[in-house]
């Protein structure tokens, strides 16, 4: 498969603009995160489609507790699963 273009927003604002334009136009857009190739999620379904790479996205990861006291993690799309696991393990948690 050949991708026509790769869009790489670095902020939520840039991502919002891109998604709004594609939504308004009805054009398909394939979204990929770290592009490790492990899940084949970044492969466009047809030649010539655009791909949205979230690799350059601002990296943010935070740990919090919900109203019941249960831990949760908020992760930006630029993290790999291994990085999330290492983050929670460093906090004494398991994912």
Q: What's the confidence (pLDDT) of residue 10?
A: 83
What are the mean pLDDT values of the chain's consecutive 10-residue runs (95 residues total)? 80 91 90 63 68 82 94 85 93 88
Measured CA to CA, the distance from residue 10 to residue 15 in angstroms comes to 8
Q: What's the confidence (pLDDT) of residue 54?
A: 81
Q: Exposure of 27 by Cβ count < 10 A (0-12 exposed, 13-18 middle, 19+ buried)?
A: exposed
pTM of the model: 0.60
- Going by the DSSP 8-state scheme, the letter that residue 65 receives in this structure is E
């Amino acid at each position: 498969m050949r991708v026509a273009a790769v869009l790489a927003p670095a902020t939520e604002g840039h991502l919002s603009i891109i998604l709004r334009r594609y939504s308004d136009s009805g054009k398909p857009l394939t979204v990929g995160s770290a592009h490790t190739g492990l899940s084949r999620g970044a492969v466009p379904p047809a030649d010539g489609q655009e791909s949205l790479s979230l690799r350059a996205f601002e990296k943010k990861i935070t740990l919090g507790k919900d109203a019941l006291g249960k831990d949760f993690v908020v992760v930006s799309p630029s993290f790999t699963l291994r990085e999330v696991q290492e983050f929670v393990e460093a906090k004494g948690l398991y994912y």
